Amino acid sequence: MKVVLDHLTKRFPNINIKIKTEVVAVDDFDFEIPDGKLIGLLGPSGCGKSTTLNLICGLETPTEGRVFFGDDDVTKLPPENRGVGLVFQNYALYPHLTVRQNIMFPLQNLKGADKLTKQQMEEKVLEAAKLVQIDGLLDRKPSEMSGGQQQRVAIARALVKRPKVLLLDEPLSNLDARLRLQTREEIKRIQRETGITTIFVTHDQEEAMSISDLIVVMEAGKVNQIGKPQDVYDDPVNLFVAKFLGTPAINVFDAEVRDGVLWIAGDDVMDGVDVPDQKVWAGIRPEAFVPDDSGKMECKLVNVEVMGRDTSVVSTHEGMQGVSIRAIISAENKVDQTKEIVNFRLRPAKVYLFDKTSSKRIYFGDQKPLGRA
Amino acid sequence: MNKDYEAIERAAKRKAAVRKGITYFFLTLWGIMVLFPFYWMVLTSVKSYGAYNSEYVPKFFTLSPTLENYKDAFTAVPLARYFANTLIFTVCTTALMLVVIVLAAFAFSRLNFKGKNLLFTLFLSLMMIPNELVIITNFVTITDWNMRNTFIGLILPSVTSVFYIYLLKENFEQIPDELYYAAKIDGTSDFKYLTKVMIPISQPTIVTIVILKVIECWNSYVWPRLITDDQLHFLVSNGIQEIRENGFGRENIPAMMAAVCVISAPLIVLFLIFRRKIMAGVSRGGTKG
Amino acid sequence: MKYGNNKKAWLYLLPAIAFLGLFMVYPLIDVVVYSFEESFNFASQTYSGVGLYNFSYVLRDPYFLQAIKNTFILVIITVPLSTGIALLISLGLNSIKKLRDLYQTVFFLPYVTNTLAVGLVFMILFKKTAYTDGMVNLLIQLFGGSSVDFIDGPYWAKMFVLCFYTIWVVMPFKILILTSALASVKQDYYNAAKIDGTAKWRTYYKITLPMISPMIFYLVITGFIGAFKAYSDAVALFGTDLNAAGMNTIVGYVYDMLYGNSGGYPSYASAAALILFAIVMTITCINLMISRKNVQY
C-alpha cells in the first residue's frame, strides 16, 4: 500500500496559554511513500517526526493537508479503521497479559465478518510469533523478558492483523548497543518477508542509513531532503542535512570564494570553484582530506588515532567551526605524528559549499544534483 | 470507497459527542449532589426563623436574607468558645505531635543503636491497632488522672502517630548520607543537623502531615465526646451535637445552620487556598472511610 | 560506630516510646484483661472472676446484635457502591479536559468538612417535621411517591440515609485515589488499543481495570475497615442515643457501654471492641487473599 502525504501541516496551540502563536509541529509535508518500502523518518528530537507518525496512524488529525492510503482519503478516519500497526517507543505491552494474550489482543477486537475463531486466532498468533522468533516465549509476561524480546512481541502484536502500513516509533532507542545492531537487521528482514510498507522514526542517522530504502530528513517540522540513504549522504541539499548525516560529522568552515578559488582563513585550499565571488560555508567530509605535503590546507596537528583499516587525524584550523577537524584517511597514507603541521589536499566531490544566509547548497565544478525521490 | 469512509468518520464523531455529553451529565449530577447540602446550609442560615418555619414547601432562594442567625449562633450558645477550644486543641496537638514524630523519625533514620530494627518493627505493628481498641483504657486512664475536661486530657493520647513517623522516616532516609558526613566534619551537632538540614529538606512531607493532622483534629469527635462533658471544653463537633440536642430550642434550624456554616468555613477556606497541596497530601497519606 | 551513639538515640525516641507505651501498648494489654474480668466495678475497681462471661453477655445483648446487623448492612451496601461509583466518576473525570479541575475540587469538598456538622444538614434535608416534609420528601412527592420520615421513620428509610451519607462522606478519598491511579496509566496503552480498534468498554475492562486493580483493592480493604468502624455518621444523623433510634453501630455500642447514660461497663466495651477487631481482621485477611489471586501484576 502506498501512502501519500498531501501537504500535511499540524499546528498545536502553545502550551503556555499566554503565547497566542501556535507551534508548528509538521509544516507542509508532501511526499508519496512507495509501496512495500522501508522508510526512515530522521531528525533531531522535537523535529516533528513523531507527530508525522501520529498523523499517519490517525492518533492526531492534521490542521491542513490530507493523508491517502492507496487512493483512499483517510485523513479524518479514526485509527482503528485505517488498518495500521504501530510499535511504540517503550513497546506499550500490557503488563498484566502474557505474550500470547498481548499478540492476540488486536484479533479479539475484530467484529462481524472479520471475526475469527479461537483456532484461527491461535494460528495467527503463532505465525506472527514465529516471524519475530519468539514462539517459545508465548506464555511469559512482558516483565519476564529482555528489552529485545519485548520489542519483538510489540512488532508481532502490530503485525498480527496484517496491517497495510507498519509504523515504528524509535524502535531501537530502548535497547543497548549490541542489541540495537541485531534488532535493526531483524526489522529489515521482517519488512522484506512481509512486504508491508513500513515507516520508522529515529534520531539516529546511522540506524536510518543502515536499513532504510529511503530516508526523510526533517528539521523543525520541515522536510529537508528525501532520498536513498547514500544519495542523501553524497548530495546534501543544505547545511543541516550535511551536518546531520555521517560519522564522524562533516567539518564546517567559514570560507570565501574569490576568482574561482576557495579560501579558508588565508589558505587557498581548492581551485576550480566556478561560482560567483561570495562568502560561503564549506562543509568538508572527513574522507575528503588527503595528506599531501604540497596540499594547500595547512592544519595544526593534534592527534593521530589509528583505528585498524583507517586512520583518524585530529587537527585544528583557523577557519573551522567547532573545536577540531577530524579527517579519515586510509592506512597507507602515513602521517608523521611528531610534526606540528599537517598539509591536506581536498577531494572536490566531498567538499560542499552552502549559502551563508539560506544555508542552501551551492554546486560547483562537476557536482550536480543527484536523482531524488 | 470514499463515501464509506465518510460514514465511518461521521459515526465516530457522533459516538464521541454522545459519550462526552453523558460523561458531563453524570459528573454534573454528582457535583450537584455534593454541593447541594452546602447550598442548603448557607441558604437556610440566612432565612429568618419565622420565614423558615412558615415554608411548608421549602424555597430554593430567599429574597430577604438576614444575618440574625449568625448573631444568635454566637450569643445563644458559646460557639466562639467551641471555636477557640478547637483552635487550641488543633494547634497544640499538631505542634506536639510534630516534635515527637520528628525526633523519632530522626533516630530511626539517622542514628544507630542496639535493637533499632526490632523497635521499628514493633512500631510498625502498632499501625494495625485500631483506635477503638485502645480508647477504652485511655478513657479510664485519663479519668483516673482527673484530667477529664482539661486540654491536657484531650491532647495527650493524640500526640503520636506511628504512620506519620513511618512516612517521615522514609523521607529522611532519602536525604543522602554525604550531607550528614559533611555536617559532621564541619562540627555540626546531630540536633543542629536535624533542624537546619533535614527538616527544611523534608518540608513538603511535614506540610502534608500537618495538613492531615489539622483536618483530623478539627473534625475529631469521639475522644472529645468521651473526655469532656463540660461545655467550656467542648470542641466544635461536640458543640454542634450539643446545639442539635439542646441548643436554641430544638427547632431553631436556621440558627443551627448558621453555626454549621461557621464551623465548616475554616477548613473549606483552607482547602480552597491550599487545594493542590491538600489533595496531593491526602492521596499520599490520607485515609478516610 | 556509623553515626551517633546509643544513649542519644534513645533520648530522641523517648517521647514517642512514652506516648505509644502509655496510650497504645498498655491499653492494648489492658483491654484484653478487662474483657476477661467478670462483673468489674468501675467505682471500686474490683471484679469477681475471670472468664468469658463478658463476651457471652455482649453476644446475647439485643443492642449489640442490632449494632452488628446495622454495621454489616452498612458495610455490604456502602463499600461496593462507593467504590463502584467512585470508579465511574474517576473514569469520567479522566476522559474530560475542560472543567476537570473544577469538578475535582468540588468532588473533594466533603473530605474537608466536619462530619457532624454536615450530617446535620443531611438530617434537615431528609427529616419530616410538623412544619415541613423536608426537601427530599418534596422531591419524592414530585415524582409521585409518598413521603417518608427518613430520620425517625421506618428502619429501611433510616438505613438508606445512613448509607447515602456514608457514601457521600467517603467518596472524595476514593475519587482522588482512583483518578491519580488512572492518570498514571500511560497514554501509550490507550493509543495501542485505539490503533487495534479496541472498543471503549473493552479497553476499560481489559486494560484500565487490571492496571489500576492494586489501587481498587487498596480502596476496598481500607473501605471495609473504615465502614466497620462507622459511628460519627450515624450520630450526625440520628443523635447520640443510637440504641433508641435502632441505628447503633458496633463502635457506637462500645462507646455507649463505656460512657453516657448506659455507660460504666468497660468490660463489656472491651469485649465488644475485641469482637469488632476480630471481625475486621478476618475480613481484611479474606480481602488480602482474594487480592493476591486477582491483582494481576
Find the mean pLDDT for residues A165-183. 86
Q: How far apart are CA A237 and CA B143, in angstroms?
A: 90
Q: What are phi and psi of A362, to 5 degrees?
A: -115, 120
Shared domain check, A110 and A14: yes
Examine residue A289 and state whether it is found in any structural domain, yes or no: yes
| Helix locations, A87-176, DSSP H | 99-108, 118-131, 147-159
Residue A373: the pLDDT is: 43
Shared domain check, A275 and A167: no
pLDDT at B161 over 60: yes
Examine residue C144 and state whether it is found in any structural domain, yes or no: yes
In the beta sheet, which residues pair with residue C6?
none
What's the mean pLDDT when you consider all of chain C? Answer: 88
Residue B3: the pLDDT is: 57
pLDDT tens-digit readout, B164-200: 999 899 899 988 888 888 887 887 888 888 888 889 9
User: With the C-alpha atoms ordered B225, B227, B231, B232, is the resulting torsion angle positive or negative?
Assistant: negative
- Lowest mean pLDDT: which of A235-244, B27-36, B71-80, C218-227? B71-80
Task: Report CB contact under 8 Å: C258, B136.
Answer: yes
b/e map of C4-16 (b: 16 or more CB within 10 Å)? Answer: beeebbbebbebb
pLDDT tens-digit readout, C154-195: 999 999 999 999 999 999 999 999 999 999 888 889 988 888
In the beta sheet, which residues pair with residue B147?
none
pLDDT at A21 over 90: no
Q: How far apart are CA C225 and CA C173, in angstroms?
A: 14
Task: Report CB contact under 8 Å: C92, B140.
Answer: no
Residue C296: the pLDDT is: 57
Share of chain B above pLDDT 90, in %: 27
Examine residue A248 and state whether it is found in any structural domain, yes or no: yes
Residue C1: the pLDDT is: 41
Shared domain check, A270 and A315: yes
Find the mean pLDDT for residues B17-32. 93
Lookup: cell for C227: 465502614
Among the listed residues C274, C37, C251, C23, the one whose alpha carbon sits nearest the alpha carbon of residue B138: C23
Shared domain check, A251 and A205: no
Share of chain C above pLDDT 90, in %: 45
Which among C192, C193, C296 has CB closest to A96?
Answer: C296
What's the mean pLDDT when you consider all of chain A? Answer: 87
CA atoms within 13 A on the CB side of C71: 27
Q: How far apart are CA A93 and CA A157, in angstroms?
A: 9
Q: How far apart are CA B176 and CA C155, in angstroms?
A: 59
Shared domain check, A183 and A287: no
Which among A72, A76, A78 has CB closest to B1?
Answer: A72
Residue A17: the pLDDT is: 67
Examine residue A373 and state whether it is found in any structural domain, yes or no: no
Examine residue A370 and state whether it is found in any structural domain, yes or no: no
Examine residue C57 and state whether it is found in any structural domain, yes or no: no
Shortest CA gap C189–chain A (Å)? 5
CB-based contacts of A116: which residues, under 8 Å, 6+ apart?
A107, A110, A124
* pLDDT band per the 50, 70, 90 thresholds, residue B102: very high
- Fold that domain B70-285 belongs to in CATH: MetI-like fold (1.10.3720)
Which among C133, C177, C229 has CB closest to B130?
Answer: C229
Q: Which residue of chain A has the CA closest to B7?
A: A77
Q: What angle do CA B82, B241, C68 make, to 5 degrees?
A: 135
Shared domain check, A287 and A252: yes
pLDDT at B34 over 90: yes
Higher-confidence position of A334 and B107 = B107
Examine residue C56 and state whether it is found in any structural domain, yes or no: no
Shared domain check, A244 and A216: no
* Domain encompassing residue C114: 63-294
CATH number, domain containing residue C160:
1.10.3720.10
Number of domains in chain A: 2
CATH number, domain containing residue A36:
3.40.50.300
Residue A20, helix vs strand vs coil:
coil
Share of chain C above pLDDT 70, in %: 95
End-to-end CA distance of chain C: 41
Residue C3: the pLDDT is: 47
Task: Report CB contact under 8 Å: A88, C202.
Answer: no
Q: Which residue of chain B has the CA closest to C42?
A: B140
Number of domains in chain C: 1
* Domain encompassing residue A324: 240-362
> Taking the complete model, does pTM exceed 0.90, yes or no?
no
pLDDT tens-digit readout, B66-83: 888 888 888 888 888 999
The alpha carbon of residue B108 and the mean position of all alpha carbons in its chain are separated, in whole angstroms, by 27
Instruction: Tell whether C297 lies on the interface with A, counting CB pairs under 8 A.
Output: yes
pLDDT tens-digit readout, A267-321: 888 888 888 889 999 999 998 888 888 888 888 888 888 877 788 888 888 888 8
Complex ipTM value: 0.89
Q: How far apart are CA B169 and CA A324, in angstroms?
A: 52
pLDDT at C260 over 80: no
Residue A239: the pLDDT is: 92
**Number of inter-chain CB pairs under 8 A, A vs B:** 17
Q: How far is CA C65 from CA A46, A154, A261, C61, in A?
A: 67, 58, 106, 6
